[in-house]
């Protein structure tokens, strides 16, 4: 297809590659003529269809001209011949695709599964057809042979917790668990959703700090939660509150009392026990005195009565108790990530016996038939992380460590990622590039756009899709950033995001790709893998592929758009230097060619950079 752009009878021709659904570019006629800003949207499904329509229009004009001259004869065979085969270098045909949908699957736009009450999140539907073709859509779907077409119907099971519109945009309302559903042409897909409060816990305490229990029945423990914005939740059981951190309960002596993660305490014998609650880096404890069990009758003064303060001997199983075997052991909480400088971590196990299950085991436990046992914790590298006497993991240095839980000849293990704990910047603008940072630009051929406003053009938040506040690198150009005051650290999830100004229309992306590399010393750079010439046009790992989601938080990768990077992929705890390099994709045959070669606008167009996980310099964590 050919686009003609004109002003004052001066024409310029540019070829638009087959299959485009949308594009934009700045067109120049000559240096002494003004720049024409063209923003256009091309919606065509097949190249041959458009060309046929063009020829029909031309023939109609010729027919009208001939009729005006008195010759009204038109050869139908000639008309059919001219419209049957467009004059292009290709003669595309429509293959005979089998119709039908095999399966559908709801997927988030990002892999991170933390959904907060203050965010907005987009979902897409993966559609697998019986012919093997895969499509990703948010609203409408049409198969390539046009035999199948339909709209995606989105819904949320509990509308009091969240809503979702007909484009797959989810807006949480309250914390809790629900299900997202999508229906397309009789197929149904579901996605389990857990929404958390976007709150920072400042104080945690038990509703009753000290308590005496005089009966053998189960008792419920409740907690008070106070947050940094002064929101307060009083007298709440742990399972009644949904937070980014999980409340974990532990008994100091499970021969006296055990406690479930729902806050249910079950007394087992007389004595004093401490119940500890932890949520993130906040801890609370309460002392429980149990005197619900009758004291044994002594026959002489030689054996004085047992006092409440003396723990009884371990419970022994009855002589005729059935034998039991440990079938398996699983580490159940609290996950596979521990942050340096964020306190201690308590891990728990579930023990499966042939006589029943014992849950939330941290140390000493009693089997279903009353046999005592002990869980032993160990670390593969005590220099990275070790367990203390209370069976809590103490993170020490950045890396990966394997923890093991052993009892009765059975072993369970889990790899724990020891990551850096992020901290808030002194000022919110420190999350973006600014005057404190050192920027070094090396332009490639075809650069120039935005250069007059460099480096200020790169400061602050991303500007959006059609913004002209970008810097064109040129073919192979690069930008090296030295972050000062606030640097990137490897924390939970993605650590920083690069924003360009690509255009997305349906499943098509107009993307001028860039490669991203990082360094902790400014000399040795490690590059994130980038599939810059991917024939499927996914371009995994490249910058400049996903547009900024305007109106969202640029440092929340769940909603921001842009292209995010995780330092865990390169095993780097801290980086102070980031380099973005044009991937030299403006070549014949690329989806961006030839529009990518317009004068002064060639190459990667940098918009902004946002730090997700950062720490202030100097970093006071041993890593």
- Give strand pairing partners of 329: 351
Q: For 251-261, what is the mean pLDDT?
A: 86
pLDDT of residue 473: 95
Contacts (Cβ under 8 Å, ≥6 apart) of 351? 326, 328, 329, 357, 358, 359, 361, 365, 367, 373, 375, 407
Question: Per-residue pLDDT tens for 223-242?
Answer: 888 877 667 788 888 877 76
Euclidean distance between CA atoms 408 and 326, whole angstroms: 7
Tokens 């200020």 correspond to: 456
Contacts (Cβ under 8 Å, ≥6 apart) of 610? 431, 432, 461, 462, 496, 497, 499, 554, 555, 560, 562
Tell me which H or E stretch contains 285.
strand 282-290
Buried b (16+ CB within 10 A) or exposed e, 196-205: bbbbebeebb
CA distances from 85 to 96, 510, 534 (A): 19, 29, 31
Collapsing DSSP to helix, strand or coil, 432 comes out as: strand
CA distances from 56 to 50, 139, 216, 256 (A): 10, 33, 90, 90
Collapsing DSSP to helix, strand or coil, 515 comes out as: strand
Question: Per-residue pLDDT tens for 39-85?
Answer: 333 333 333 443 444 444 444 444 434 433 443 333 333 323 333 33
Q: For 257-278, what is the mean pLDDT?
A: 87
199, pLDDT greater than 70: no
Q: For 110-125, what is the mean pLDDT?
A: 77
CA distances from 586 to 39, 309, 473, 503 (A): 20, 79, 12, 16
Tokens 């330092």 correspond to: 567
Domains and CATH numbers, the chain: 2-84 (no CATH), 101-196 (2.60.40.1080), 204-293+324-420 (2.60.40.1080), 428-616 (2.60.120.260)
User: 523: which 2 tokens?
Assistant: 């000399």
The beta-strand segments (E) located in 169-263 are 169-172, 176-184, 187-196, 201-206, 210-213, 219-220, 223-227, 232-236, 248-251, 257-259
344, pLDDT greater than 80: yes
Report whether 41 contacts 505 (CB < 8 A). Answer: yes
pLDDT of residue 330: 92
pTM of the prediction? 0.52
pLDDT of residue 38: 33
Collapsing DSSP to helix, strand or coil, 383 comes out as: coil
- Calculate the average pLDDT of the chain: 78
CB atoms within 10 A of CB 303: 9
Question: Per-residue pLDDT tens for 1-19?
Answer: 233 333 333 333 333 433 3
Euclidean distance between CA atoms 433 and 481, whole angstroms: 9
Of 298-302, 470-474, 509-513, least confident by mean pLDDT is 298-302
Residue percentage of the chain with pLDDT more than 90: 38
Q: For 582-603, what is the mean pLDDT?
A: 88
CA distances from 473 to 31, 284, 447, 448, 589 (A): 20, 54, 5, 8, 21
Report DSSP letters for 470-494, one per residue. -EE--TT-EEEEE--SEEEE--SS-
Q: For the chain, first and last CA: distance in Å? A: 57
Contacts (Cβ under 8 Å, ≥6 apart) of 325? 353, 354
Report whether 242 contacts 176 (CB < 8 A). Answer: yes
């Amino acid at each position: 297809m050919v686009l003609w752009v004109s002003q004052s009878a001066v024409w310029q021709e540019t070829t638009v590659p087959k299959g485009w659904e949308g594009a934009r570019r700045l067109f120049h006629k000559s240096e002494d003529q003004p720049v024409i800003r063209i923003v256009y949207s091309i919606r065509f499904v097949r190249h041959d269809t458009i060309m046929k329509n063009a020829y029909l229009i031309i023939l109609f004009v010729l027919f009208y001209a001939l009729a005006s001259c008195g010759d009204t004869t038109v050869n139908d065979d000639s008309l059919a011949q001219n419209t049957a085969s467009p004059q292009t270098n290709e003669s595309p045909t429509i293959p005979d695709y089998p119709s039908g949908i095999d399966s559908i699957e709801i997927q988030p736009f990002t892999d991170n599964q933390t959904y907060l009450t203050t965010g907005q999140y987009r979902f897409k539907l993966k559609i697998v057809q019986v012919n093997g073709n895969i499509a990703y859509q948010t609203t409408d779907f049409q198969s390539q042979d046009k035999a199948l077409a339909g709209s995606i119907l989105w819904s949320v099971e509990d509308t009091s917790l969240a809503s979702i519109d007909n484009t797959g945009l989810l807006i949480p309302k309250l914390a809790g668990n629900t299900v997202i559903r999508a229906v397309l042409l009789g197929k149904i897909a579901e996605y389990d959703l857990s929404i958390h409060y976007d709150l920072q816990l400042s104080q945690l305490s038990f509703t009753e700090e000290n308590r005496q229990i005089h009966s053998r029945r189960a008792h419920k423990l409740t907690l008070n939660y106070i947050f940094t914005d002064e929101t307060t939740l009083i007298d709440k059981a742990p399972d009644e509150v949904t937070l980014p951190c999980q409340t974990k309960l532990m008994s100091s002596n499970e021969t006296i009392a055990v406690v479930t993660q729902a806050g249910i305490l079950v007394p087992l014998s007389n004595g004093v026990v401490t119940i500890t609650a932890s949520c993130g880096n906040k801890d609370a404890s309460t002392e429980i005195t149990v005197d619900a069990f009758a004291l044994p009758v002594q026959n002489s003064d030689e054996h004085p009565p047992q006092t409440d303060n003396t723990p009884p001997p371990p419970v022994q199983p009855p002589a005729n108790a059935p034998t039991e075997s440990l079938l398996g052991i699983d580490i159940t909480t609290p996950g596979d990530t521990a942050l340096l400088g964020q306190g201690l971590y308590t891990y728990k196990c579930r023990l499966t016996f042939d006589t029943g299950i014992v849950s939330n085991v941290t140390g000493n436990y009693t089997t279903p038939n009353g046999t005592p046992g002990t869980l032993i914790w160990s670390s593969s590298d005590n220099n990275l992380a070790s367990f203390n006497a209370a069976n809590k993991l103490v993170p020490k240095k950045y890396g990966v460590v394997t923890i093991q839980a052993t009892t009765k000849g059975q072993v369970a293990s889990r790899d724990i990622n020891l990551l850096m704990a992020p901290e808030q910047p002194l000022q919110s603008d420190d999350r973006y590039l600014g005057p404190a940072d050192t920027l070094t630009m090396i332009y490639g051929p075809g650069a120039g756009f935005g250069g007059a406003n460099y480096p200020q053009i790169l400061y602050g938040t991303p500007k959006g899709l059609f913004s002209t506040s970008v810097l064109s690198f040129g073919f192979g150009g690069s930008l090296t950033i030295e972050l000062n005051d606030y640097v990137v650290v490897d924390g939970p999830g993605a650590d920083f995001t690069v924003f360009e100004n690509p255009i997305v229309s349906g499943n098509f992306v107009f993307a001028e790709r860039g490669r991203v590399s990082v360094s902790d010393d400014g000399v040795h750079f490690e590059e994130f893998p980038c599939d810059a010439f991917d024939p499927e046009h996914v371009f995994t790992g490249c910058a400049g592929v996903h547009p900024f989601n305007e109106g969202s938080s640029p440092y929340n990768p769940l909603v921001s758009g842009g292209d995010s990077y995780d330092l865990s992929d390169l095993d780097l705890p801290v980086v102070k230097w980031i380099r973005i390099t044009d991937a030299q994709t403006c070549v014949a045959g690329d989806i961006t060619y030839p529009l990518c070669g317009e004068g002064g606008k060639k190459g990667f167009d940098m918009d902004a950079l946002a730090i997700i996980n950062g720490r202030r310099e100097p970093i006071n964590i041993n890593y």
